[in-house]
Amino acid sequence: MGGIIKSSIARKVAMALSGLFLVFFLLQHFSINLTSVFSKDAFNATSHFMGTNPLVQFVLQPVLIFGVVFHFIMGFILEIQNRKARSIKYAQYNGGANASWMSRNMIISGIVVLAFLGLHFYDFWIPEINTKFIQGDMSGMHNGELRYFTELQHKFVSPVRTLLYVISFAFLALHLLHGFASSFQSVGVNNKYSGGIQKFAKAFAIVIPAGFIFVAIFHHLNH
Amino acid sequence: MKLLLKIWRQKNAANKGQMVDYPIDGIEEDMSFLEMLDVLNEGLINKGEEPVVFDHDCREGICGMCSLQINGEPHGPDRKVTTCQLHMRMFNDGDTITIEPFRANAFPVVKDLMVDRSAFDRIQHAGGYVSVNTSGNTIDANATPINKGDADDAFNAAACIGCGACVAACKNASAMLFTSAKVSQYALLPQGQVEATERVQAMVAQMDAEGFGNCTNTGACEIECPKGISLENIARMNREYLSATIIG
């Protein structure tokens, strides 16, 4: 992929655009998660729609998977290329003097988020694919009602899993604190509106992951 | 002041190199960092040892020759200064000071603390100029009205002295701040806009070919730049590059 996108600026823009796409997805995912706090029926209905709508399943979902895979593969390629650009390291490197921890450690926060995605796929995506496309049950029903809310609650019974979710979203916040704001710079936006954009991006980076954490803890305490 | 200097010594480009300790005494806080190294070298020469090689020229912060990674930061702990403008008052008596060459594969070590920064020259040669017809009909640059804001931004970009602190500070050894300053100083002016498309593509291609890393917007370059070159220049170069690639 590093060979296909030959220019460093093209790689940077591709990273920013895939990141912005994932930020948009995150907002959409959070909106649905949030309904589970207010209404079991609304969450069930939305989940059933998202899980069975052909446009979502066969167009948006493959695009999303491509976006995720592209973002993390490109992230690893950039990390390898960047490490190679300085093969002899400094004996003393005071990185904290001129750049934030978040900006210097996107690979660490990214790997934690990627590991979380593995857990998330194991928890939700693989069982969904199994139920719908291997067992062929597209009804979304279990024991006479839509099953999504019950499955969600069941996942957050375990304090270990809830803690893993909390930690993962804390790292997602760290990732977004640099990534979201920085994607605007990558696509060339640095003007009189940048101060406002940076504030919005940083607020988003804290509020949305905090919201995911809230939903996880809410269901852990109310199962 | 009494100090312990830990200095990178390397005989030549092929040699492996190592950090060597040099205790030094009698340093005054009014000395510049380079004057402190001059004192060290006088002592080494008097003892019949090889002096430490380091780049320097104007010693007034405008030539961009003095480099040095000092205690993990290019040009040391002070802001908006080159190493020749860094004074020993920034350090305390008894301090240990680590002095290394700017590290990047695109800046190979020549000897000790001196690195070859000709990669920057090659980026500049790739497009950092304006082709002017000198047939006798050349229009006086001052006869072309230019928006004050653009003129100021172009001047600020042109303040880049090509010292390489941006590359040295960047965790990725990226040369985007340097290249973007050179792209911006022309892109903002009508004289430079004629060749803008070819310039940004050629300079970015040369920057990549030199083996510099990718920019990840950490902002370390802007903080460490002795001339305060802004990250706005990188955003401008990204825009220029996208427009040159997509629109042509």
Q: Residue A64: what residue type? A: L
Smallest Cα distance from B205 to chain A, Å:
7
Q: What DSSP element (H or E) covers A216?
A: helix A194-221
**What's the pLDDT at B226?**
98
Closest B-chain CA to A191: B232
Is A105 within 8 Å of chain B by CB? no
Q: Which residues of A touch B107 (CB under 8 A)?
A: none
**What's the pLDDT at A132?**
86
Residue listed under structure tokens 């205690």: B71
List of domains in chain A: 2-221 (1.20.1300.10)
Which candidate from A86, A93, A187 shows the least CB-CB separation from B238?
A187
When mean pLDDT is compared across A4-8, A82-86, B99-103, B207-211, the lowest value belongs to: A4-8
Closest B-chain CA to A93: B72
- Mean pLDDT value of segment B59-76: 96
Q: Which residues of B touch A78 (CB under 8 A)?
A: 214, 216
Strand bridging mode B69-70 / B73-74:
antiparallel
ipTM of the complex: 0.93
pLDDT band at A154 (very low <50, low <70, confident <90, very high): very high
Q: Which residues of B touch A86 (CB under 8 A)?
A: 103-105, 172-173, 213
A106: nearest Cα among A71, A134, A141 = A71
Residues β-bridged to residue B21: B6
Sign of the dihedral defined by the CA atoms of residues A47, A48, A51, A57, in that order: negative
Smallest Cα distance from A83 to chain B, Å:
6
Q: Which residues of B touch A13 (CB under 8 A)?
A: 238, 242
Residue listed under structure tokens 């899980």: A51
pLDDT band at A141 (very low <50, low <70, confident <90, very high): confident
Smallest Cα distance from A12 to chain B, Å:
7
Q: Chain A interface, mutation test: which of B206, B214, B225, most A Cβ atoms within 10 Å?
A: B214
Residue A92 to residue B71, Cβ atoms within 8 A:
yes
pLDDT band at B162 (very low <50, low <70, confident <90, very high): very high
B33, B76 Cβ separation under 8 angstroms: yes
**What's the pLDDT at A143?**
83
- Mean pLDDT value of segment B115-143: 90
Structure tokens at B246: 């997509």
Closest B-chain CA to A88: B103
Note the pLDDT tens digit of each residue in B110-122. Answer: 999 999 999 999 9
Residue A185 to residue B214, Cβ atoms within 8 A:
no
Q: Cα B205 to chain center, whole Å?
A: 19
Provide the mean pLDDT of chain A.
94
Which candidate from B174, B232, B238 shows the least CB-CB separation from A13?
B238
- Mean pLDDT value of segment B176-188: 97
**What's the pLDDT at A138?**
86
Residue B19 to residue A91, Cβ atoms within 8 A:
yes
Q: Chain B interface, mutation test: which of A11, A98, A192, most B Cβ atoms within 10 Å?
A: A98
pLDDT band at A3 (very low <50, low <70, confident <90, very high): low
Which candidate from B208, B223, B237 shows the least CB-CB separation from A98?
B223
**What's the pLDDT at B17?**
96
Instruction: For residues A103 and B170, give the distance between their C-alpha atoms in angstroms, rounded to a whole number.
Output: 11
**What's the pLDDT at A4?**
54
Instruction: For residues B92 and A50, give the distance between their C-alpha atoms in angstroms, rounded to a whole number.
Output: 64
Instruction: For residues B62 and A34, give the distance between their C-alpha atoms in angstroms, rounded to a whole number.
Output: 57
Instruction: For residues B96 and B3, give the distance between their C-alpha atoms in angstroms, rounded to a whole number.
Output: 6
> B101: which DSSP letter?
P
The torsion defined by the Cα of A81, A86, A90 and A93, in degrees rounded to 10, comes to -50
Q: Which residues of B touch A81 (CB under 8 A)?
A: 213-214
